[in-house]
Every structure is written in structure tokens, then in C-alpha cells.
Amino acid sequence: MIKIAIIGMGNRGRRYAAQISKNPDAEITAICEKNPSHLYAAAQKYGVSRENAFLSDTEFFEKGRLADALVIATQDRDHYGHAVAALKLGYQLLIEKPVSPVLSECEEIAALADEKSLRVVVCHVLRYSSFYDTVKRVIDAGEIGDVVSVNDTENVGYWHFCHSYVRGNWRNESETGPSILAKCCHDLDIIHYFTGNKCQEVFSSGSRKLFLKDNAPEGAADYCLAPCPHQKTCPYDAKKIYYGITRYTIPKMGVHIKVVTGKANPKIKDLKDVLKTSPYGRCVYKCDNDVMENQNVALRLENGVNANLTMTAFSKGCFRRLHICGTKGEIIGIDSRGKFRLNVFGGPSKTIKVSSGGVFGHLGGDRMIVSDFIDLLRTGKPSTRLSLIAVTLESHRIAFAAEESRKSGKSVSLL
């Protein structure tokens, strides 16, 4: 039986814990979480003893190695310290993306893992979803010939963006990192994964257009539940986002009620009470956000391949639109629809259907990365799609270069 510890029992940590608990070859033996409500609820749910449930990361690491592997699902700027401490103790790692908002820290983690002969798997979970896994198989089978270009648009969803990147944990670059890294290192990894080519040059531009203090409507309250005179017309009203169904909206982020309230078993009353003063209840025009709302990254890859990534906050849904052009055909699809179109030049076109996997589980990617990670721990053999740090750092290097380009207005060479 593979023993796994988890540090960070927020939204991502809970999702991985749920998948680990379903796997017959693994068990959760230790957890660390600074929120006592989340910690003790998780300990009870997964049968972790009180002596192996830690509120302090210092105490957790001082106990020595308590499992075969550690899942790191803490905040971005905590990853480095937790990863280094874990590797020194001999843990195999599954680490949330981004690995770190500092490139040198990413590279140091990779180097230490290599020195210790330990595996670090990065949670680039899109690789593992049925949609992207099937696209990869079609490309590798040569059905569209050699890949010439990749165009990927990440539509973040207005409700997701305001929750995470305006009001939430990833709103401010100095506290976490740039949105192109935090949100889109997935996409940059997929581009590298599909083509097998490293990036040689990057050019990026971005903008902040809406979520600015100057755009606050006249008389807007600091908090949506104040009440605010614009509550009925504002699509970003916290009530609409978290619990209030209207004719045109469903509270998409209601799944994050535990994150917003900080309670393991919250009720709607808890949510209403906390939104009166919580960062998640703030007017979107009066937050301390500074990350890009819209950004484009143009990539020149090896072997004459070009790629383009667009991230936008301004979409009704949360999905990615993909167009891959090859010398013999093309692939066109929207990942959330569970299908894509394969057009072969001079030949038949067909729609290939895949399992959707569910939007909130990264289209099934959360389940399959845990499965592949546990198989790696059990057999020592990585699957072909396993996102090991030595390869997936390519996505991070591109993201950092994109930010350098955006700020300088010049292209950045990665040669």
C-alpha cells in the first residue's frame, strides 16, 4: 500500500485527497493544513490520526518522512520551501502548478530532485484528461502529419476570473505571480507536449481594461452585500457568483464555499455573513488586483513550428478553444464539449468524441494524474504522459519569458 501525505487542504488538496482515497493501492497517512476546521474535517474523513494531522508546516517536517510521497497543494509562494524540505526528507512529490513564481526556485527544486534521485510530478492536469490525451494520440499517430502551428485560447470565464484573479488568491503578482503563469502554464505545457519542440523565442502583450478603480460605477459600495445600488445589473455581484440564482446566471463558484468561508461544513448563512467583509465580497472595481486580464503569447518553436496562446477573462464560459494545423490535416475543438473535429486534407473529416470528465475536475485530469502518480510510485515506471518536472519546466520558462516580453515590449530569446 502506497502511503501519501498532503500539505494544503484547500480546494486543490481536497480534490487530490478525494481521488487518492478512491485508489485501492494508496492511503492518506498524514496531512498538514493551517486552517483547523479544514484540517480536522479531513483527518476524520480520511482516517488520519490526530498525531499525524498538523496545523504547522514546521512541525510536520520536523516529524520526518511520514509517507512515501507528499502532495504539495499550498499557495504558490510556499511551494519552494515545502518542496525543498520534502525532498531532503526523501519524499516523492506531486506538486501543484506553478512550481514557484520564481524561476530559479523552480530550477533548484528540479536539481535537488535529480540529486536525490526522487520524482517530482507537476500538476499539469490537462495532459491527463480524455480530450487532450486523445488529441495527443491522434497527433502521434501522424493523422495530421507534422504539426505546423498551434492556436490555443483559454477562456477563463468572467465568474472564475473575478473569484481567483480579482478578489482571490491569485489577484496580485507580488503575492503570488503573473496570471499567465498561474493560469496558463497548463496551456504552455500542452503546446510543448503536443509538438515535442522547445520554444526559441517569445513575444507577449497584455492589458488590464475592466477591473480598475476608475471603472467603479457611481455610488458603488465597497462590498456587494452593503447593499450596492448596482447589485441587480452587475454580473460580478458576489451574490450572483456564489449563491444567488437569477434568470441568466448560475452561481458557478458556489463549489468554493469552503474556500470563501474557511469552514469545512459551511451553510449558506455562513457564506452570506462572511461575504459582508470577506475579500471575496469586495466590489471588483475596488480590489488590490494587478494581474493581466487579457494576454497574448506568440511562440517560435523549434523545427519551424509557431504557436499562439490567448488568455482572456472575458468569456461567459470556462473552456479552451484549440486549433492545431498539420501538413496533412487539422484538429479543431473546444475541450468542454467532449469532442473535436479531425479534418484530413483530401480525405474524410470526422468528429472524435471523448469523455468530458467534468469542468471542475479539469475534464477528468485530476483523477488520472493521481492514478498515474500512484502507478509510478507502485511500479517505478512513468507513463508516457507523466508530467515530470525536468520536462514541464519548459512551460514555466516560457511564462517567465512572456512576462519579460510584456513588460519590455520586446521579444525574448530562449536559446
pLDDT in tens, 332-348: 999 999 999 999 999 99
- Give the range among 12-16, 83-87, 195-199, 361-365 with minimum mean pLDDT: 361-365
Q: Which of 72-76, 139-143, 292-296, 360-364 has the lowest mean pLDDT?
A: 360-364
Q: Looking at residues 248-267, what average pLDDT do you find?
A: 92
User: What was the pLDDT predicted at 357?
Assistant: 60
Domains 2-118 and 126-211+289-359+388-413 share a fold: no
Q: What is the pLDDT confidence band of residue 270, given thresholds at 50, 70 and 90?
A: very high
Overall average pLDDT of the 190-212 stretch: 97
Q: Which helix (H) or strand (E) holds 14?
A: helix 11-22
Tell whether the model's pLDDT for residue 104 goes beyond 90.
Answer: yes
- Enumerate the β-bridge partners of residue 324: 150, 331
pLDDT band at 364 (very low <50, low <70, confident <90, very high): confident
Determine the pLDDT at residue 355.
Answer: 77
Count of CA atoms in the C-beta half-sphere (13 A) of 266: 21
Collapsing DSSP to helix, strand or coil, 127 comes out as: helix
Q: Is residue 362 very low, low, confident or very high in pLDDT (cuts 50, 70, 90)? A: confident
Split at pLDDT 50, 70, 90, the class of 255 is confident
Query: Residue 125's pLDDT is what?
Result: 94
pLDDT tens for each residue of 24-53:
999 999 999 999 999 999 999 999 999 999
Question: What is the pTM (predicted TM-score) of this model?
Answer: 0.95
Mean residue pLDDT of the chain comes to: 96
- In this structure, what C-alpha cell is assigned to residue 7? 500539505
Is the predicted pLDDT of residue 358 greater than 60, yes or no? no
pLDDT score for 306: 98
- Mean pLDDT value across residues 266-284: 96
Pick the CATH number of 126-211+289-359+388-413 from 3.50.50.60, 3.30.360.10, 3.30.110.70, 1.10.150.570: 3.30.360.10
Distance CA 24, CA 22 (A): 6
Q: Is 384 exposed, middle or buried (0-12, 13-18, 19+ CB in 10 A)?
A: exposed
Residue count (the chain): 415
**Burial (0-12, 13-18, 19+ Cβ within 10 Å), 33:** buried
Report pLDDT digits (tens) over 306-341: 999 999 999 999 999 999 999 999 999 999 999 999
At residue 349, the pLDDT reads 96
CA distance 230 to 221: 9
Sheet arrangement for strand 294-301: 349-353, 339-344, 329-334, 319-326, 147-155, 306-312, 294-301, 199-207, 412-413
Pairing between β-strand 26-32 and β-strand 53-54 as defined by DSSP bridges = parallel
The CA distances from residue 295 to 154, 163, 205, 310, 371, in Å, are 10, 18, 6, 6, 33
Bridge partners, residue 388, by sequence: 121
Cα distance between residue 209 and residue 150, in whole Å: 27
- Per-residue model confidence (pLDDT) at position 359: 52
Tens-place pLDDT, residues 142-195: 999 999 999 999 999 999 999 999 999 999 999 999 999 999 999 999 999 999
- Report residue 356's pLDDT band, with 50, 70 and 90 as the boundaries: low
* Residue among 331, 350, 347 nearest 139 (CA): 331
Conformation bin of residue 145: beta by default, left when phi > 0, alpha when psi is -120 to 50: left
The number of beta carbons lying within 10 Å of the beta carbon of residue 91 is 27
CATH node for 2-118: 3.40.50.720
Tell whether the model's pLDDT for residue 360 goes beyond 70.
no
Query: Residue 54 pLDDT > 60, yes or no?
Result: yes
Is residue 363 over pLDDT 80? no
The shares of helix, strand and coil residues in the chain, as percent rounded to the nearest 5, are 40, 20, 35
Is the pLDDT confidence value at 131 over 70?
yes
Residue 118: the pLDDT is 98
Domain boundaries, the chain: 2-118, 126-211+289-359+388-413, 213-281
